[in-house]
Chains A and B, each alone.
Chain A
Amino acid sequence: MDPIYENGLLQTRRELIFNAAKCLGGAALGSLMAPKTIAAPNTNPYGGLSGVPHFAPKAKRVIMLFFSGGPSHIDMFDYKPAMRGFHGEELPDSVRNGQRLTTMTSGQKSFPCVAPMFEFKRMGAHGTWVNETLPHIGSIADDITIVKSMHSEAINHDPAITYILTGTQQLGKPSFGSWISYGLGSPNKNLPSYIVMISRGSGAANQALYSRLWSSGFLPSKHQGVNLRSGKEPVLYLKDPEGIDRNLRRRMLDGISKINQEQFEEFGDPETQTRISQYEMAFRMQSSVPDLMDVSTEPKGIMDLYGPDANRAGSFARNCILARRMAERGVPFIHLFHRGWDHHGGLPGKFPKQCKDIDQPAAALVKDLKQRGMLDETLVICGGEFGRTIYSQGKLTKTNHGRDHHSRCFATWIAGGGFKAGYEHGETDDHSYNIVKDPVHINDLNATLLQQMGIDHERLTYRFLGLDQRLTGVEGAKVIPQLVA
């Protein structure tokens, strides 16, 4: 029998005991003093929870393209020709309706409305409005669902981004990707199940990120996102020290393994067996990760599809190609951050640069997945933590203005994974300020995404501090059936 496989088996089973004891909660625990323990065999072949997925999944993995800073929904998709008519006019009180503003603009005396300083085109068969600076995304309009009625309660970055990625504004909760890793596990034993990549925007100062955004919170740390970085060491501590080659490392591990085996025979702790197998996986990761990162095998046509930035390590375009390579390798949650979308001022200059960073690569990712027949089983989600205001932050001039944070409505698009193709959901008022039809709370979208992964969002829980915690919060998130085909 293959010893690694054997170790793996033992580990999976060991974790079941751990889960049964630690996670199932009062009901199971109440009986633990009884002499026998109930334990059903784990049916999850990927090391996730037994019984998950709860039902047949549409999608096997998620690629989340997260634009941090709050991209302007008005300047991307939620454009209305009527805006040209009230450009420069004060935002009517009836629209603002006493709603709270950030203190960056709450002291402003005037709130002049700004129509986008860009041209828009109707794209796709359903003729949805797309900014001319996003021609490639426009070209996949028929493949995506655009939700124009996303909303959140948080109005500043730190709480808003924590909210959308963990389901609550309070700190300490696991990120979306950690929940997926915890629930579904991963078919790939040589790569982490939750991978994060970060790129800088070229259009503006970059808002801060926090490792908590990919942290496992109260879940075991094996579910935390692993930040894959450009450069020589994509995973921290991946490289053997100078002077130690692969053969020497192999000999070291063999020696360690033999001694650990002795240890196991003396004390009989299954944890020792797990450790042996984890050292083996570390060894394999040392080659599987560089192999993943090596795009030299990609044909020129594919590199061209993602655009010229794809040749630059660390760019959003390169990360998109890597995301596809991860998807091919079965990584269940791939999380790309692109920074620089916080346009309080100078929006007309900064926004197109940001769009240029992401337009071709994001569209290429969808096209590439589609041509490989992988789009149906992959969810691609694209958006930020909130949108921006119709009124100008700071002075509105002929060529310049800013926009403040706006969480009452914003736009996110989703491709693949059973979401409708060529569809637009939800509607806002003329000022793109309030939702007038089909609101989708950020936790509703997360619940819907989980459903496509075969997960009932109310049943993927973890007992912590007396509560069955879940990704979608306590306020009763609901799946939005209209979004999926």
Chain B
Amino acid sequence: MSLSRTILASTLISLLFDPLAAEELPKTVQFNRDIRPILSNNCFLCHGPDKGRRKANLRLDVEEEAKKEVIIPGKPEESELWARITSTDKDESMPPPKTKKSLNAHQVALIKKWIEQGAKYEGHWAFTSPQMPALPKNINKWGYNPIDNFTLKQLEANGLTPSPEAAKEILIRRATFDLTGLPPTLQEIDAFLNDKSPKAYESVVDRLLASKSFAERMTLHWMDVARYGDSSVHHADGPRTMWPWRDWVIDAYHTNKSFKDFATEQLAGDLIPNASNDQKIATGFNRNHGTTDEGGLIIEEYRVEYVVDRVKTTGNVFLGLSIECAQCHSHKYDPISQKEYYQFFAFFNNNSDSGKQTRGGNAPPMLEVVSDEKLARIQAAEIKLKEAEKKISEYKKTASTAFDKWAIEAAKKVGEQPEEPAGLYAHLPLDEFTDRKSTDLLNEKNEVKWEGKGRVVKGKFGSAFRVEGNGYINAQGIKPPEWNKPFSYGCWVKPDAGNASGAIFSKMNESNAYRGFDLWLQGGAPGTHIIHKWKENAVKVVGKTKAKAKQWSHIFVTYDGSGKASGTKIYLNGKLEAHNIEADGLNGSIQTPNDFRIGRRSNSAQANNIEIDDVRIYNRTLSASEVASLAGNDPIAPLLAIAPDKRDAKQTATLLNHYLNNIDKNFQKLTTEKSSAEKEKGEASKNKITTMVMGDLPKMRPTYLLERGHYEHPNKEEEIKANVPSFLPTMPKDAPANRLGLAQWLTQPDHPLTARVAVNRYWSLLFGRGIVSTVSDFGTQGEWPTHPELLDWLATDFANNDWNIKRTIKQMVMSATYRQSSKLNKDLYAKDPQNRLLSRGSRFRLQGEFIRDNALSVSGLLANKVGGPGVKPYQPPGLWNEVSLSGNVRFKQDAGENLYRKSMYTYWKRSAPAPSMTIFDAPTREKCMVERPRTNTPLQALVTLNDPQFTEASRNLAQRIIKEGGKSPKERVEYAYRLVTSRKPKPIILQILTSAYNEEHANFGKNTEAANKLLAIGESKRDESINAAEHAAWTIVASMLLNLDEVITRL
């Protein structure tokens, strides 16, 4: 065996490396295919589109210029061009030796022949609109759809024949991986093998295209393209929430949104008239780029940087152009002038997001997003809440008889009461909250609204507001008298701690030297500030006794309008307090525009963990006895003392409320119902998430050409208007000069680039390389398409059929070209080593995500949940901390289901992305990456051999083999091999694996400790009823299987 290997290997070597110096010249030299690449690579730098770099005032990229000067068609010997490239004089020869470029003999011969044949120029193929080509007539009959006519034509022209169709097992595995990123299940394989109908393959393809996994697989690719990440890239690389955008993409692929809408909504969804939330979420495409929060940054520098990134990404992804090269100078190879760059730049230059974004989450503009699950919870709670409120208001209507009866009885018990003090002008009992709103009994128009966190709890009377988590109550319309007028104010408080501090209520503007007033606790003692300008024009007094912890205390201040501390009195529980004076002397206005707030000042002195009830303000100085009566008695008694017909409406309402909230048990049941519905609604609305979206400034920001691309050097002599490069079609007539207009232009059916670039990307996903292998460069430096007509056919067919993505992809996988066997033979290898002619099926390593997902899938661990926040599966310790700012960002591994989600959901921290993916060529996604390299390295072997994720998968696969794979080792190996490769093992492979099992089974039998250690890896539980040595030995076999070339390769 080793002999045959050696022979084959050395044959290959000699096939590959027979140095072939003399290359045949084509019969007809084609400018675009043969000549342009030579000129572009060697000459255009100095004789091309960039005026700044042009030498000798000579252009070779423009036919008239070249033929005026240095090319005489038909006569190479008389053409200066040919003389220069063949000259041996180092002053004459071109390209000049100092450029370190030179033409080889073949290239020189090509140019000679081209001039001989008339030196015909062609416009760059990719810049003219594709025309639907006629289907080629083939000599032989082969294939299923037009794609095959084109590939067969090329094969026939090169004397090749197509390979036979791949075996069914290989075909279903290939299609399943290509379309879903997962392996087929045994049931799916068997169903396909048993389906003898001519539509068998098509129904597999249809099933795959309809699955959510198809949408996920396409999204994973788009995440590279759109530089998606869960962190902000620059400096601190802090977290952000963009997964709602990623889920939008999944949904778009799943519902087969047309590519036209897919592109338009991502580029300009926010500008579509009456844009839906989903259309706005789509624009997150251009918020995915890296942003910074670095302390020393210059904001404009980075704002410009973000625009530059958006231009680059749009150019690379949709146009297949390296348009970004013209940022600092006109493009060296493609006809994009620097001015045109800034015209394109202008589409994105109206952005409203700042150059400085955050390290702690999303930066504006952003949109609140509620998950479907949460939305359902909120809606259910709202219905409950409405019902409860309805019951309450209905109950109130029926309560008057019982209330009247109670009021009479209660009045009898009250006895003589001091009068309700006069002068009340604001009274917030904090008793009833509806939709987070309560009332000012003295003025129902004043909105009293609960903001942020906090709770409604049982109060001194009825309910009270408990300040928590920086929540507060905001009351509009409440105004204290001026500084030189008397007033009094107070409430009941119940602090958790005996030394609590904070503003119980206030109306104060901190940013205007604390103007206003407050009632506050200072280390537990009540006090007040009345301020014009802190601290030189203010009164501050603080009592000497503390309000006790966990008890209700009445605190109250009276002020006489004197502007003196001596005219300001503090009462605790109705008793006048001795006080300390901290400021004394006020003679200016205390009015502020800020609202009255309970629980804090406008933005500070938060009184967390204090319960507050029955807030009152009077417009006079209450007497000591009046304060005592407020403190000593409940507020109800004085009202009861008033004869029912003498009570005014407000007093009656207060009594009714008191009755309902304190006496009437039935009513209290209703309010409990209501508050539990409110609580549920609050819980469901917690942790709202946002996603970043694009936004434009209301007024267009002027754009200027930036000299050398530098933000500091705008050329203000000329304002630049948004437009597209002149070598491409003009903007549609009615298109607005903004991103929406740009999208309309991009998705015109005859656009020369958009459809070609898109179908070429799909092709490269399915065939491992594009028809144009430089998938993001269709410019003059890009590669010539291997099948130009096929590309044009696919592109026009795509645009003519509503940019239907699934339809185009289906066409590709249905073709005979796609279905060919990937087996290689000497002849094929010699004629087409890289399979550029598509003489066989392509064969390449699975991408990293698929390798991991495959292991999870065949072992039965894969959690098939779609969408949601990124997850943190196993990763070696310390990787985040090692690079993080100040070293304090630590990776916290998830547990349970999150360890087994598809790899596309792995949390993507871009300064330290998951190593098991980057080792397999996953990009960091700091910049747009349209196609990944595909390497084969020892570190990859270490991942699949040693990563706990894979060891755990091996153990679970082993368990599945034991339980489902039959009895004998032979049956089990067959079962396992089919699971991982879709095929039956050859006898030799069966023998290798069975004897591996037998040997390791014997070894682990002698060393149970080793078996147990191996089986302990990973969080999932193993079935303890399985013998450890047996389980461990199958784990070894499973690990070998997961490391086979065939398993990590798509055949």
Contact = CB atoms under 8 A, between A and B. Distances in A.
Interface in A132-191: 155-158, 170-172
Interface stretch (A32-40, A85-93, A110-118, A351-359): A32-40
B296 A404 contact: yes
Interface stretch (B196-204, B337-345, B916-924): B916-924
Nearest to A25: B41
Contact of A34 (B26, B921, B929): B26
Contact of A212 (B712, B926, B1040): B926
Contacts of A273: 9
A463 B40 CA distance: 13
Given A241-B1017, A466-B779, A466-B781, A39 B1040 contact: no
Given A37-B833, A158-B292, A456-B100, A31 B23 contact: yes
A38 B106 CA distance: 10
Contacts of A261: 1, 5
A435 to B, nearest CB: 20
Given A211-B912, A211-B918, A268-B825, A255 B993 contact: yes
Contacts of B420: none
A459 interface: yes
A100 B939 CA distance: 45
A200 B884 CA distance: 11
Nearest to B877: A231
Nearest to B298: A103
A206 B1014 contact: no
B921 A221 contact: yes
B623 to A, nearest CB: 54
Interface stretch (B210-218, B232-240, B601-609): B232-240
Interface string A214-227: 01001111101011
Interface in B279-338: 290, 292, 294-299, 316, 322, 325, 328, 332-334
B235 A158 contact: yes
Interface string B947-989: 1100100000000000000000000000000000000001011
B21 interface: yes
A165 to B, nearest CB: 14
Contact of A30 (B4, B37, B878, B887): B37
B20 A36 contact: yes
B1036 A267 contact: no
Interface stretch (B65-73, B506-514, B659-667, B1041-1049): B1041-1049
Given A6-B6, A236-B942, A268-B824, A198 B882 contact: yes
B937 A222 contact: yes
A467 B1032 contact: no
A222 B936 CA distance: 8
A157 B235 contact: yes
Contact of B834 (A13, A21, A100): A21
A52 B927 CA distance: 30
A465 B17 contact: no
Nearest to A281: B938
Contacts of A259: 989, 992-993, 1040, 1044-1046
Interface string A1-36: 101001001100110110001000111011111111
A458 B941 contact: no
Interface stretch (A244-252, A368-376, A447-455): A244-252
A240 interface: yes
B947 A237 contact: yes
Contacts of A466: 322, 325, 333-334, 774, 777, 779-782
B19 A39 contact: yes
Nearest to B234: A158
A135 B1 CA distance: 65
B70 to A, nearest CB: 20
Interface string A38-56: 1111000000000000000
Contacts of B1036: 244, 248, 252
A262 B5 CA distance: 10
A287 interface: no
A256 interface: yes
Nearest to B154: A33
A31 B20 CA distance: 13
B913 A211 contact: yes
A35 B158 contact: yes
Contacts, number: 331
Contacts of A210: 237, 883, 910-912
B294 A158 contact: yes
Interface in B220-240: 233-237
B843 A267 contact: yes
Interface in B818-860: 822-825, 829, 831, 833-834, 836, 843-845
Interface string A252-291: 1001101111111111111111111011011001100000
B647 to A, nearest CB: 63
Contact of B876 (A32, A233, A265): A233
A224 B913 CA distance: 14
Contacts of B34: 30-31
B776 interface: yes
Contact of A263 (B786, B941, B1045): B1045
Given A271-B845, A279-B938, A206 B886 contact: yes
Contact of B887 (A21, A26, A206, A229): A206
A122 interface: no
Contacts of B715: none
B106 to A, nearest CB: 6
B16 interface: yes
A302 interface: no
B936 A275 contact: yes
A208 B786 contact: no
B688 interface: no
Interface string B984-1009: 00101100110010011001000000
B341 to A, nearest CB: 15
Given A235-B942, A282-B945, A38 B927 contact: no
B445 interface: no
B296 A405 contact: yes
B915 interface: yes
B1014 to A, nearest CB: 3
A299 interface: no
B1015 interface: yes
Given A103-B297, A157-B294, A207-B885, A38 B19 contact: yes
A233 B879 CA distance: 12
A104 interface: yes
Given A17-B834, A27-B38, A156 B1044 contact: no
B878 A229 contact: yes
B784 interface: yes
Contact of A238 (B926, B940, B946): B946
A281 B942 CA distance: 10
Contacts of B405: none
13 contacts: A29-B784, A35-B24, A40-B19, A104-B296, A156-B294, A236-B919, A236-B942, A241-B1017, A243-B1014, A251-B1000, A255-B992, A281-B941, A465-B322
Given A198-B883, A237-B942, A275-B941, 20 more contacts: A10-B12, A27-B38, A30-B784, A158-B235, A171-B233, A208-B235, A208-B236, A220-B933, A236-B939, A237-B876, A242-B1016, A252-B996, A265-B8, A268-B823, A268-B829, A269-B1049, A273-B9, A274-B936, A281-B941, A466-B334
Interface of B: 1-2, 4-6, 8-9, 12-13, 16-17, 19-21, 23-24, 26, 33-34, 36-38, 40-42, 100, 103-104, 106-107, 110, 158, 233-237, 290, 292, 294-299, 316, 322, 325, 328, 332-334, 712, 774, 776-777, 779-784, 786, 822-825, 829, 831, 833-834, 836, 843-845, 876, 878, 882-887, 910-913, 915-916, 918-921, 924, 926-927, 929, 933, 935-943, 945-948, 951, 986, 988-989, 992-993, 996, 999-1000, 1003, 1010-1017, 1032, 1036, 1039-1040, 1043-1046, 1049, 1051
Q: Which 5 A-B pairs have the closest CB atoms?
A: A102-B296, A243-B1014, A26-B37, A466-B781, A268-B824
